Amino acid sequence: MDVEATKTILLALRGPITAADVPQLCDQLAARLRDSDATDAVCDVGALGRPTAVTVNALARLQLVARRRGCRIRLSGAGPELLLLLELVGLTDVVGAGGPVGGPVQAGGPAETGPDPPLVRRA
């Protein structure tokens, strides 16, 4: 049985992240990936605090850095606010958000189809 071993590095993010922090975080990830044979980077976001647009930007840029080096980012410890924010901006699949170590997000299943709900009008 020929099974390729997955090598993983851990990147722990502490918050809050500012826009000025993003280039440094990307440089740190790039250096760690250069110095390893990692194919996955688990990004522990449990200590980020309340997520912001800057948080989402940082995670998207980290994923770009990882992909350029043949790696992927998976999130660990993502809270419901961060998962919702990533879903709202359409980046859930891009940054590997979800489950304990970045599995798919289970946010209510597929959208239901059917008639539109009635409009509520205020008098």
Each residue's pLDDT tens digit, 84-118: 999 998 888 777 765 443 343 333 333 333 444 44
**Mean pLDDT calculated for residue range 10-26:** 92
First to last CA, the chain: 70
For residue 71, with 0-12 CB atoms within 10 Å meaning exposed, 13-18 middle and 19 or more buried, which class applies?
A: buried
How far apart CA 15 and CA 74 sit, in angstroms, is 18
Give the rounded percent of residues in the chain with a pLDDT score beyond 70.
73
How far apart CA 7 and CA 61 sit, in angstroms, is 21
